[in-house]
Amino acid sequence: MSESTRTPINLVVLGPPGAGKGTQAVEFAQRHEILKISTGDILRDAVQSGTDLGQRAKATMDAGGLVDDQLMIAIVKARLSRADAAGGFVLDGFPRTVTQATALDEIMAGQGALIVVDIAVPDDALVERLAKRRVCGQCGNASSIASGEVVGTMTRCEKCGGELVLRSDDAEAVVRERLRVYAEATRPLVDYYSSRPTFRVIDGHQSPIAVAAALTAAVDDVRAVVSAGSPGSEGAAR
Ligand code: ADP
């Protein structure tokens, strides 16, 4: 077995709302049989089950804002400390601020390279995608209503038959606020990571299959660079 197949993949998927991070994270994690951690899903589950976390996060999420950094850091730190994360992971939705990114570096210190891939999509395409996005109220699967289709005509999830609904924070005004918050708080992460040899940008304005191929190629490329380095290069390449 080569070095690159043995070393766990620790991947952060960055990108604006609607870039397809969630879809790609699920697909990548399944294909590589590694853990997927989506902070958006964790928060939505908490809201749905009415836990203390859900009650604290709901209003912020509904307004398109960001949940408190320290709360998010504690959630991710706890999840990454569990045994199943040692085999590698895909992080979707975290980090979202430079404070969260700095904390992730501390959590990952000495634990191998952190691969960061930014899925880039132009703003006008994002607004259109989010307006068409529907999620299954039962299994959470994301779908897109076809262009020209009357909203509400496709009402069943193709995976489980559950009813498709507009995600509460995909309402137009909230989408605009999420994009504003992204530009202000999350886009600076591209600068935070961009000088690292483990950072790549891929084109997210293409089909999901093409984006998945670009993501895999980017991760393979980083792993080749990291494993070509001398022992200890992972720390340096962080
Ligand atoms: P998207 O990427 O489509 O905007 P997510 O499902 O990742 O949506 O997140 C939904 C909402 O959950 C965010 O708008 C935000 O309110 C909250 N959230 C998720 N992850 C974080 C995080 N790391 N820090 C702060 N808030 C978060």
Q: Model confidence over 3-29: pLDDT tens digits?
A: 445 689 999 999 999 899 999 999 999
Q: Which ligand 1 atom sits nearest the alpha carbon of residue 96? A: 23
- The answer to whether residue 6 is catalytic is no
Options 178, 200, 223, 238, the catalytic residue: 178
> Given a cut of 50, is residue 80 above it in pLDDT?
yes
Dist. CA 121 → ligand 1 center (Å)? 17
Q: Which two tokens stand for residue 37?
A: 């951690």
Q: State pLDDT tens for residues 28-60.
A: 999 999 999 999 999 999 999 999 999 999 999
Cα dihedral 132, 137, 143, 147 sign: negative
